[in-house]
Amino acid sequence: MKNEKIPYKIYLEENEMPKSWYNVRADMQKKPAPLLNPGTKQPMTAEELSAVFCDELVQQELDDTTPYIEIPEEIRNFYKMYRPSPLVRAYCLEEKLGTPAKIYYKFEGNNTSGSHKLNSAIAQAYYAKKQGLKGVTTETGAGQWGTALSMACSYFDLDCKVFMVKCSYEQKPFRREVMRTYGASVTPSPSETTAIGRKILAEHPGTTGSLGCAISEAVEVAVSSEGYRYVLGSVLNQVLLHQSVIGLETKAALDKYGIKPDIIIGCAGGGSNLGGLIAPFMGEKLRGEADYRIIAVEPASCPSFTRGVYAYDFCDTGMVCPLAKMYTLGSDFIPSANHAGGLRYHGMSSTLSELYDQKLMEATSVTQTDVFQAAEYFARVEGILPAPESSHAIRVAIDEALRCKETGEEKTIVFGLTGTGYFDMVAYEKFHNGEMTDTIPTDEELEAARAKLPR
């Protein structure tokens, strides 16, 4: 098919969908650093982790050697309801920009949760059900993860308790109601329902919460409730593994037409969509079979890669979770009220952190108003109303395409369009009214949070 005109959308047939996830850690010579027990400072054992997470997910979390892990048939069947997701050739965007670059995006917003998060939610719910659990607890920031998990839990008939960061709970009542439609209970965090929530409220009265606080509350409820485990929508190795379905589909679609990307771009909050999108490409890079430029895009208000340090840190504010070695701003860092809620996390996947440290990928940060300018441009040209998080990748893809216009290079750019922005219209409203601001933390603020890193 090499000489055929590339269609606007490259779809895969059902039988071309991946049957296994790809575990990039298997091809890394230097592995990501292990999670540590915050008490003993020793690597977390499977037994310790299984108090918090489902058994099979613990195995996936700790597995640094198996390259392909079969996707259970039940999960593949669920995937078929909304996958394969299209790989779109952005002909309209290319033309409007007047660039010789060829731009593709992998669109993950075609499901009710509106993002890629469903890819891991369904896997995590499946393993919880298989273990005979009653339910799961989790946190949600902007609401996409909570929505995805509610959908997955209702499919497998599991109870789902979501702690939603208070400012989102108040700002996004519609997301909350979508979760309740799928049967989840939603509690604003910090709350009076947990010991850690009460402690945080006593120390910071009136706080509007953070992902770190909500994680602490969800973990507390999971470990103290019979038949419950905690699930997390990003950061962990297991989540990157599940999200590799994005990259595997992307690569299969490109291979169909003999297309080799030069640049692969994704937004990075905890690193799951980017880790998933790049997985098979990074695998080729690690094995010396191909080379790609890979760019992580983060908000200037929460710049974990570009201004953080590579160190062991807590994953949550309450300091109950294991320590992870990652690029971090410090678990004490509370980012400004940026509208890309899904990117407001102080840390980063330890797998991506290690790859970044080995200089196998790059990172850049962009300001909120530049992101929304790109989001609006993209909506008008390509039709899709993008999520603010996804628009970070759009911004950099457009910038790279404009660079090609200057140099005349016909580079092939692939970026991850992680979701839609229908629940983010308050942010769009602020942008349209000229009320959006760009808050960039000062060196002093970053230093203050860094000083509290565990030694």
By CB under 6 A, name the binding residues for ligand PLP. 115, 117, 144, 234, 267-274, 342-343, 387, 389-390, 418-419
Residue 431 beta carbon to ligand PLP: minimum distance, rounded to whole angstroms: 17
As a residue count, the chain comes to 455
Residue 343 beta carbon to ligand PLP: minimum distance, rounded to whole angstroms: 6
Residue type, 43: P
Q: Which of 352, 364, 359, 296 is nearest to 324 (CA)?
A: 352
Residue 237 beta carbon to ligand PLP: minimum distance, rounded to whole angstroms: 12
Instruction: Kindly tell me which of 78 and 145 has the beta carbon lying closer to ligand PLP.
Output: 145
Torsion angle, alpha carbons of 349, 351, 354, 355, to 10: -110
Tokens of 453: 């890193």
Contact 139, 214 (CB under 8 A): yes
Q: How far is CA 33 from CA 29, 47, 214, 256, in A?
A: 12, 18, 25, 36
Q: What is the residue-wise DSSP string for 95-115?
A: HHHT-S-EEEEEE---STT-B
Residue 353 beta carbon to ligand PLP: minimum distance, rounded to whole angstroms: 12
Instruction: Kindly tell me which of 209 and 419 has the beta carbon lying closer to ligand PLP.
Output: 419
Instruction: Kindly tell me which of 94 and 249 has the beta carbon lying closer to ligand PLP.
Output: 249
Residue 117 beta carbon to ligand PLP: minimum distance, rounded to whole angstroms: 6
Instruction: Kindly tell me which of 32 and 129 has the beta carbon lying closer to ligand PLP.
Output: 32
Instruction: Kindly tell me which of 171 and 418 has the beta carbon lying closer to ligand PLP.
Output: 418
Q: Which of 41, 38, 74 is nearest to 56 (CA)?
A: 74
Instruction: Kindly tell me which of 228 and 423 has the beta carbon lying closer to ligand PLP.
Output: 423
Tokens of 309: 């340090």
Residue 130 beta carbon to ligand PLP: minimum distance, rounded to whole angstroms: 24
Measure the CA–CA gap between 194 and 283, rounded to whole angstroms.
42
